[in-house]
Structure 1
């Protein structure tokens, strides 16, 4: 198992060089000598800014020491970018087992005291030390803060002033949930937030598990150009002459959002993480924000016998871990169950989120959407209520915007 895992991760490095900069593995984690030599050569080439391929490896080292050209080709067959983290953990776990046996053998030979054995074994669980901080060091970081003026740190702006004041924008490492009944406007709100983030210099990464990329594109164009979405079906006949004059300007404005879209159905969070990592290496200077449409369309890593509660628990926990890993906001849409329809006041509550327990616990911010017009078709009220139901680090309350369900445009007209 150890050797196979080593082959898999080395093959993945060979096909996807950028992962060499992300891995927590070191040379000593590999069991086979030629794998240690190969990994060391790959890292050196990467640090020197050179390509990692069979030719460069042959020039940088004795190819025979690396197993030969045929062996390198064999490794490439094991490559699987989406399983990178799984391979990495397998190699690390195998190293820990070998180290554990070595420690116990040496301890028996040298008659170590039990506290030394315990201490050495504990070190094995500290392979990743970047999550450690002393409270003394943390306190020292802010010792001078009361006397040092600093610029207010804000999260990713929403383009809605009152909402930004309440939640201070979408924060790094935070999981944010936007929940509503179907056709309430969730996707249009997501598109609004993504384009606002992009225009402010952030990198919006959208995982659209429900709509194809062409539909997301058309909705984005309609909202930026203030076009009725029905016109997007036939732009030649649908757009007026005046709208066609603005077309180039609208397309330019849409491109400036820099939104990156993945529309594969049934993606797992591991796949999303791999794709996010790859995009970040394309745009290393950009700060990302991840959007997912929507939560229960994500394919869980385990089936749990069809138990939806356990599946959603895994998904919400994994999304929170994803936000922490990339140190960026993750915004996921979520469906509400039908219980909201049974009440006279149909504004959503926490319990209305499908399998709500784990979502309520893991989310830093939960926003509900409500439109009176959704239930009263004769109403001409175009108000969309954004209900801040949970805000881990701030107040809760309701923010109102104007929503055009035909264009998808959201106007922040209620500033007070």
Structure 2
């Protein structure tokens, strides 16, 4: 007997050789025909109970549900189908593809219901859902020999310095091994502690090394970002820059023209996106464009900051933020880029006697902690204690480092210049 469809072919294989259930990743929801869904559900239950799967055990597990699939005759028909067990992954792939076609058609109905610019958010949600659907269950070719050989080649290479993109702060780079591709790195602090200034310092250092930075500024304009970069690079008081013609001395103009020249040299290393409302899908699209334009460079994506990223609007905000962080981690892996995501910490830490940030202070979602490869916190004692002896001293606390050590690095921070430097280079 020949199968009428791929769902039947897959179920027939699984009934004849039950241990093949360990090789498939689809779920009952991927089946279109309800009786097939119920049969596969029964198989998954048997798998969970560690009971061998065959026609008898499936029949027994179905129990009274057998009447909803057409009785034992339907199971017998499935068992008698001519299939090749070696093709089980092919049958699974066909079932998944058919599922994606059905779901895409359903989602496309949502596009047909968009009739005005006011409904663009609905359109964006549909596009995001379709992209996530197409990525679901995507086959990843794995060849053990190839991966081991690649690992061997990496081991044989003599390397100098760090593996990741350097931040420009030596002690931090040694602790982190730089900002590595495929990693999601969280940079958290309370407002006005120096998150954006630190991210801009990293941006300048990365661009100087001829790597590429996609800077997504959701709170400040590109003009404001560049003003702060020039202040940083030129060691120019940011207050003076607000009215340069009146406040600049001759030395300030010299430093300004120097810094402007440095930033101008970043034209092939930096793009700033200052759209106030942006989705992960838009971020992904822009980053892919940068990679196409500069495929030879290593890419760092900086997003300032997490809670300003627009979500789907279909769930509670803390769940939505978790979805955003997962999608950014997926983007980092898929595009092989490093993602530095700025995040505000909850004000609860200000009520504690010990003001040093902890992982539990990450705002809106505990899932962020799970998704992140590295979590960094900025802490300034003089932010909380105006009488602090540690003026202009900032601690970079590495609270999570999936592939390395945790610890603390201390830097000098000159707020009027938006400038970070190692302590031995303190001004």
TM-score, length-scaled by structure 1:
0.69
- Corresponding residue number in structure 1 for 2:91: 121
- Corresponding residue number in structure 2 for 1:383: 393
1:243-282 pair list within 5 angstroms: 243-257=252-266, 258-282=269-293
Q: Residues 119 and 324 of structure 1: is their aligned pair in 2 closer, same or farther, counting only changes over 3 Å?
A: closer
Count of residues in correspondence between the two structures = 307
- Corresponding residue number in structure 1 for 2:59: none
- Corresponding residue number in structure 2 for 1:150: 158
Q: Residues 244 and 358 of structure 1: is their aligned pair in 2 closer, same or farther, counting only changes over 3 Å?
A: same
Q: Residues 314 and 178 of structure 1: is their aligned pair in 2 closer, same or farther, counting only changes over 3 Å?
A: same
Deviation, 1:356, is: 3.8
* CA distance, structure 2, for counterparts of residue 249 and residue 145 of structure 1: 40
CA contact (8 A) 1:192 1:410 kept: yes
Deviation, 1:218, is: 0.7
* CA distance, structure 2, for counterparts of residue 314 and residue 190 of structure 1: 23
Q: Note the alpha carbon deviations across 1:163-186, whole angstroms, 9 max, x for none.
A: 111111000000000000000100
Deviation, 1:149, is: 4.4
Deviation, 1:122, is: 2.3
Deviation, 1:334, is: 0.2
* CA distance, structure 1, for counterparts of residue 270 and residue 142 of structure 2: 35
Deviation, 1:144, is: 6.7
- Corresponding residue number in structure 1 for 2:221: 212
Q: Residues 377 and 281 of structure 1: is their aligned pair in 2 closer, same or farther, counting only changes over 3 Å?
A: same
* CA distance, structure 2, for counterparts of residue 272 and residue 141 of structure 1: 30
CA RMSD of aligned residues (A): 2.6
Q: Note the alpha carbon deviations across 1:201-233, whole angstroms, 9 max, x for none.
A: 111110001111111011011001111111121
* CA distance, structure 2, for counterparts of residue 346 and residue 316 of structure 1: 25
- Corresponding residue number in structure 1 for 2:418: 408
Deviation, 1:271, is: 0.6
Q: Note the alpha carbon deviations across 1:353-408, whole angstroms, 9 max, x for none.
A: 11341111000000000001101224461100000000011110110000011110
The secondary structure found in structure 2 opposite 1:141 is helix
Deviation, 1:130, is: 7.5
* CA distance, structure 1, for counterparts of residue 87 and residue 149 of structure 2: 33
- Corresponding residue number in structure 2 for 1:357: 366
- Partner residue of 2:317 out of 299, 308, 320: 308
Q: Which has the larger radius of gyration?
A: 2
Q: Identify the range of structure 1 (383-392 vs 237-246) with the bigger mean alpha-carbon deviation.
A: 237-246
CA contact (8 A) 1:159 1:412 kept: no
Deviation, 1:333, is: 0.3
For structure 1, the residue ranges without an aligned partner over 5 or more in a row are: 1-95, 98-106
Q: Residues 143 and 225 of structure 1: is their aligned pair in 2 closer, same or farther, counting only changes over 3 Å?
A: closer
CA contact (8 A) 1:340 1:347 kept: yes
CA contact (8 A) 1:350 1:356 kept: no
Q: Residues 119 and 360 of structure 1: is their aligned pair in 2 closer, same or farther, counting only changes over 3 Å?
A: closer
* CA distance, structure 1, for counterparts of residue 293 and residue 150 of structure 2: 32
CA contact (8 A) 2:217 2:272 kept: yes
* CA distance, structure 2, for counterparts of residue 267 and residue 408 of structure 1: 26
The secondary structure found in structure 2 opposite 1:389 is strand
Q: Note the alpha carbon deviations across 1:83-109, whole angstroms, 9 max, x for none.
A: xxxxxxxxxxxxx99xxxxxxxxx99x
The secondary structure found in structure 2 opposite 1:406 is helix
TM-score, length-scaled by structure 2:
0.67
* CA distance, structure 2, for counterparts of residue 183 and residue 142 of structure 1: 43
CA contact (8 A) 1:401 1:414 kept: no
* CA distance, structure 2, for counterparts of residue 302 and residue 137 of structure 1: 43
* CA distance, structure 2, for counterparts of residue 281 and residue 144 of structure 1: 27
Q: Note the alpha carbon deviations across 1:177-204, whole angstroms, 9 max, x for none.
A: 0000000100000000111110011111
Deviation, 1:414, is: 5.1
- Partner residue of 2:308 out of 286, 297, 316: 297
Q: Note the alpha carbon deviations across 1:18-58, whole angstroms, 9 max, x for none.
A: xxxxxxxxxxxxxxxxxxxxxxxxxxxxxxxxxxxxxxxxx
**Does residue 1:174 correspond to 2:183, yes or no?**
yes
* CA distance, structure 2, for counterparts of residue 284 and residue 144 of structure 1: 22
